[in-house]
Structure formats: structure tokens, C-alpha cells
């Protein structure tokens, strides 16, 4: 996996000392891409987590996906796009709507419940 920080630092060292400031939309896009990488890493942590670290991995994933959703929402509002996008073409619930957030919360809540609570 490419280390984006070192790549970014290398690009900065090559570029001129006068860097143009990023617009809010460009800054949000950079943050969105960074958060996508956090989600990828969080899924990797979850996939390979030891049993005692599964809860932490799930919470890390929830945090990264929530941050991603918030950044996407801010970016769409900045561009004047009010329509929420569904997770896929067959889904009618947006991940950014209150219903979508409750479904996500229920999903992660089911993962975090001990086995004895899930079976009752």
C-alpha cells in the first residue's frame, strides 16, 4: 500500500514554496479521500482483529464511515446538491438520512452485542 503522507511530502518538497490555497470544495475532497483510506484501514483491522479487539475495530469502522458520511453531506451541500444518494440503485434509503443512520447503528449494534444477548 502506498503511504500517502510520504508521497504528499515528496510532492511538497518538489513543488514551489508558494502553494495555492485550496478552496473549501477542494479541501473537502482531500478530506473525503483521506477518510476513504481510513475506512479501508478500519475494514482491514476488522477483518484481522483478534476476538478481544473486534469491538474496537467495529467502533473504528463506525467512526470512519460516519466521518465519511458527514464530509460527503457537507460537500453536496456546498455544491447545492440537496438530493441524498442511495447506497445502491435498489436501495431506497440514503445512508445520510436519519433512517439510514439508524440502520447503520442497528447493524453495528448487532455486531457488538454479546452472543448470549443476540440469541434471546
Q: Taking the domains of the chain in order of start, what are their residue ranges?
A: 22-112
Confidence of residue 8 (pLDDT cuts 50, 70, 90): low
**At 39, which helix (H) or strand (E)?**
helix 24-47
For residues 12 and 25, give the distance between their C-alpha atoms in angstroms, rounded to a whole number. Answer: 20
- Taking the C-alpha atoms of residue 71 and residue 55, their distance in angstroms, rounded to an integer, is 24
89, pLDDT greater than 50: no
**Nearest-angstrom CA–CA distance, 51 and 47:** 11
Q: What is the pLDDT of residues 35-59, one digit of tens each?
A: 999 999 999 999 999 999 999 999 9
Site of grid cell 473525503: 32
For position 112, what pLDDT does the model report? 57
Per-residue b/e over 80-92, b at no fewer than 16 CB within 10 Å?
A: eeeeeeeeeeeee
Distance CA 48, CA 71 (A): 27
The model carries a pTM of: 0.55
Amino acid at each position: 500500500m502506498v503511504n500517502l503522507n510520504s508521497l504528499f511530502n515528496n510532492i511538497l518538497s518538489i513543488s514551489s514554496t508558494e502553494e495555492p490555497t485550496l478552496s473549501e470544495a477542494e479541501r473537502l475532497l482531500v478530506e473525503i479521500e483521506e477518510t476513504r483510506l481510513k475506512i479501508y484501514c478500519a475494514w482491514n483491522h476488522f477483518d484481522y482483529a483478534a476476538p478481544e479487539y473486534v469491538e474496537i475495530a467495529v467502533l473504528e469502522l463506525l467512526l470512519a464511515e460516519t466521518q465519511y458520511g458527514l464530509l460527503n453531506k457537507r460537500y453536496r451541500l456546498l455544491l447545492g446538491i440537496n438530493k441524498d444518494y442511495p447506497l445502491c440503485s435498489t436501495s431506497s434509503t440514503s445512508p445520510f438520512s436519519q433512517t439510514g443512520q439508524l440502520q447503520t447503528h442497528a447493524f453495528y449494534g448487532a455486531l457488538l452485542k454479546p452472543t448470549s444477548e443476540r440469541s434471546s
